Amino acid sequence: MGRHFDDTVFKAFVKSVGIYPIGSMVKLKSGRLAVVIDQNPASLLTPLVKVFFSTISKSRIKIALIDLSIAGEQDSIDCHENPLARDIHDIWSQP
């Protein structure tokens, strides 16, 4: 027997918490790691993120803000990332 949630309550919950909550780490399709800085109320799948690390070169990169909701932005979120699984310390220091 499946469980069903009230659609209005579920949408309000997701909108308040977000699919990618502020402070969560995500991996972008480009291979960069980022931290979610702010939500986009128009689209919960395209938050504002701060990139800081490349999983391809396994090194820090120049910190940059990326608004994934901007038309023409080529990058997007690939998946949530577990910060404890990465051996990265002091993520905000510049490379």
Please tell me the distance from the alpha carbon of residue 64 to that of residue 61, in angstroms, as a whole number. 9
Q: Is residue 89 part of a domain?
A: no
Please tell me the distance from the alpha carbon of residue 82 to that of residue 25, in angstroms, as a whole number. 7
Place of tokens 């402070």: 23
Task: Indicate the pLDDT class of residue 84, thresholds 50, 70 and 90.
Answer: confident
Higher-pLDDT residue of 45 and 5 is: 45
Q: Is residue 94 part of a domain?
A: no
Q: Is residue 24 part of a domain?
A: yes
Residue pair 48/40 in contact by the 8 Å Cβ criterion: yes
Q: Is residue 91 part of a domain?
A: no
pTM of the model: 0.80
Higher-pLDDT residue of 3 and 26 is: 26
Q: Is residue 93 part of a domain?
A: no
What distance lies between CA 85 and its chain's CA centroid?
A: 16
Q: What is the pLDDT of residue 90?
A: 63
Q: Which domain range does residue 13 map to?
A: 7-84
Two tokens, residue 89: 């310390």
For residue 56, is pLDDT > 60? yes
